[in-house]
Amino acid sequence: MVFTDPEPWQPHVWRSELKDAVTSVAELGRVLRLPLEDCDEGAIAGFPLRVPRPFVARMRRNDPDDPLLRQVLPAAAEKEPVSVLPDGTRLSVDPLRENDYARAPALIQKYRGRALLIATPACAVHCRYCFRKHFPYEDHSPGRREAALAVLREDDEIAEVILSGGDPLVMTDASLGRLIRCLDSILHIERLRIHTRLPIVLPSRITRDLLDILASTRLRVVVVVHANHPQELDSDTARAFACLRGAPGITLLNQTVLLRGVNDAAPALCALSERLFAQGVLPYYLHMPDAVIGTHGFHVTEVRARQIHDAMAERLPGYLLPKLAREEPGRAAKTVLA
Report pLDDT for 309: 98
Residue 142, pLDDT above cutoff 80: no
Residue 102 pairs in a beta bridge with 108
- pLDDT band at 152, cuts 50/70/90? very high
| 257 and 287 Cβ atoms separated by less than 8 Å | yes
| 269 and 310 Cβ atoms separated by less than 8 Å | no
User: 92-98 long-range contacts, Cβ below 8 Å, gap at least 24?
Assistant: 92/291, 92/292, 92/293, 93/134, 93/292, 93/293, 94/134, 94/135, 95/131, 95/290, 95/291, 95/292, 95/329, 96/131, 96/290, 96/327, 96/329, 97/329, 97/330, 98/132, 98/135
Report pLDDT for 42: 61
Residue 298 has phi, psi (to 5 degrees) of -100, -5
Mean pLDDT of the chain: 93
Q: How far apart are CA 180 and CA 175, in angstroms?
A: 9
Considering the chain, what percentage of its residues have pLDDT values greater than 70? 96
- pTM summary value: 0.94
pLDDT digits (tens, 9 = 90+) for 83-135: 888 888 888 888 888 889 999 999 999 999 999 999 999 999 999 999 888 77
pLDDT digits (tens, 9 = 90+) for 47-87: 899 999 999 999 999 999 999 999 999 988 888 888 888 88
Residue 90 pairs in a beta bridge with 84
Report pLDDT for 187: 98
Residue type, 136: P
Report pLDDT for 163: 97
At 196, which helix (H) or strand (E)? strand 191-196
Q: How far apart are CA 140 and CA 4, in angstroms?
A: 41
Smallest Cα–Cα separation from 117: which of 103, 131, 130? Answer: 103
Report pLDDT for 262: 98
Give the mean model confidence (pLDDT) for residues 257-284: 98
Residue 183 pairs in a beta bridge with none
* Cβ neighbours of 85 (radius 10 Å): 13
Residue 2, pLDDT above cutoff 60: no
| 280 and 252 Cβ atoms separated by less than 8 Å | yes
Q: How far apart are CA 37 and CA 8, in angstroms?
A: 39
pLDDT digits (tens, 9 = 90+) for 183-228: 999 999 999 999 999 999 999 999 999 999 999 999 999 999 999 9
| 241 and 252 Cβ atoms separated by less than 8 Å | yes
Q: How far apart are CA 40 and CA 74, in angstroms?
A: 6
With H, G, I as helix, E, B as strand and everything else as coil, classify residue 324: strand
pLDDT digits (tens, 9 = 90+) for 300-324: 999 999 999 999 999 999 999 999 9
Q: How far apart are CA 331 and CA 335, in angstroms?
A: 8
Smallest Cα–Cα separation from 205: which of 163, 160, 173? Answer: 173
Q: Which residues touch 2 (CB under 8 Å, ≥6 apart)?
A: 238, 242
Angstrom CA distances, 304 to 264, 300, 337, stand at: 8, 7, 12
Give the mean model confidence (pLDDT) for residues 226-238: 98
Q: Which residues touch 18 (CB under 8 Å, ≥6 apart)?
A: 52, 124, 170, 202
- pLDDT band at 20, cuts 50/70/90? very high
- pLDDT band at 273, cuts 50/70/90? very high
Report pLDDT for 46: 76
Quick one: DSSP state of residue 90? B
Smallest Cα–Cα separation from 111: which of 151, 159, 145, 148? Answer: 159
Residue type, 330: G
Spatial strand order in the sheet of 335-336: 102-104, 107-111, 114-120, 160-165, 191-196, 220-225, 250-257, 282-287, 323-326, 335-336
Q: Which segments of 20-144 does DSSP mark as H helices, in order? A: 25-32, 53-56, 67-72
